[in-house]
Amino acid sequence: MRQIRTFHKAATLLSFSRTAAELNYAQSSVTGQIKGLENALGVALFERLAGRRVRLTPAGVRLLPYAERLLLLADEARSATLGSVEPSGRLVIGTMESIATYRMPPLLELFHHRCPQLELVLRPGSGAEILDGLRQGALDLVLLIDTDIRHPGLESTVFGPEPLVAVVAPDHALAGRRSVTGARLRDVPILAPESGRGYRRLLQRELPGHTAPILESGTVESTKRWAAAGLGVGLLPEVAVADDIAAGALVALDWHPPSAVYTQLVRRRRTPLSREMRLFIDRVATLMAEENDRIAA
């Protein structure tokens, strides 16, 4: 199992040196374990490239899903043997900054009190970054807001559309208009919180011929500050700006993109779910259903 665990980590990172660092092994130990597994199976699992890089051979690609299943089964066997009924271990969740800030706190609090032996690690990033991390095995699950609900090689659970709101500073020229059309926004700078394809694809679809820049701040807080400073129209999840609108720091425009973005949980296809993964998915689904009911009310 030690060799299988080392193989799995090296197969996801494609680097023996990074594998050694993450597993706290000497690099020679990683090389020796991989060589021992290759000798036992009678086949090469990695192709050594220039610059200490490696890639999986066809045999290594075939072994990887079995290694994932073996590791999950080993964890279940350990828990059953020890008689542990509490969820435990470590889940690494990739997520976007808007979800981490405005959706995750109640969930983290729930797991902290009810599942103290389970460590939840959040890894924020853009949509493309966290999906790549999931495919490479660096992440266990991903929480994502995107226009697409289908991702190659992955499986999505969609919780519903995520309402977006266009906001401006109270003294912005558009703030006093009773209604705003997409045509009126074509020459106004648009402020988006997340870099990546999701927002840009949505804006290109809804505002064809948009001539002003799309400014990607990288964070929700920066986008709100830019909008409050009058730099343009901020396009943000409603949950992220509700308090700012109520306080009068931002004004919501009477314009919503006709297309939707969706909050979704994404996992690797055909990868068995551990007890902890299933618990996390169930709790997220419950939380999102409660949030959707609250917004609808």
State the CATH number of the domain containing residue 131.
Answer: 3.40.190.10
User: In this predicted structure, what is the pLDDT of residue 60?
Assistant: 93
**134-161 mean pLDDT:** 88
Provide the CB-side half-sphere exposure for 34 (13 A, CA).
Answer: 29
Residues contacting 148, CB < 8 A, separation 6+: 198
The pLDDT tens digits of the residues spanning 234-287 come to 988 888 899 999 999 999 998 877 677 888 999 988 777 888 888 899 888 888
Helix (H, G, I), strand (E, B) or coil at 182: coil
Angle at 219 between CA 119 and CA 170, to 5 degrees: 135
Q: Are residues 118 and 66 in the same domain?
A: no
Whether residue 181 is contained in a domain is answered as yes
User: In this predicted structure, what is the pLDDT of residue 99?
Assistant: 87
Lowest-pLDDT choice from 81-95, 171-185, 259-273: 81-95
Q: Are residues 154 and 278 in the same domain?
A: yes
Q: Are residues 42 and 58 in the same domain?
A: yes
Phi/psi for 51 (5° steps) reads 70, 30
Question: What is the residue range of 54's domain?
Answer: 2-82
Is a pLDDT exceeding 70 seen at residue 82? no
Q: Are residues 266 and 154 in the same domain?
A: yes
Counted domains in the chain: 3
Q: Are residues 70 and 147 in the same domain?
A: no
**66-86 mean pLDDT:** 77
| Closest among 61, 63, 59, 66 to 44, alpha carbons compared | 59
**94-115 mean pLDDT:** 87
Q: Are residues 177 and 154 in the same domain?
A: no
Query: pTM value?
Result: 0.70
**175-203 mean pLDDT:** 75
Residue 143: pLDDT band (50, 70, 90) is very high
Whether residue 116 is contained in a domain is answered as yes
Q: Are residues 172 and 135 in the same domain?
A: no
Whether residue 257 is contained in a domain is answered as no
Here the tokens at position 215 are: 């400014």
pLDDT more than 90, % of the chain: 27
CATH number at residue 27: 1.10.10.10
Quote the CA–CA distance of 194 and 98 in Å, as a whole number. 8
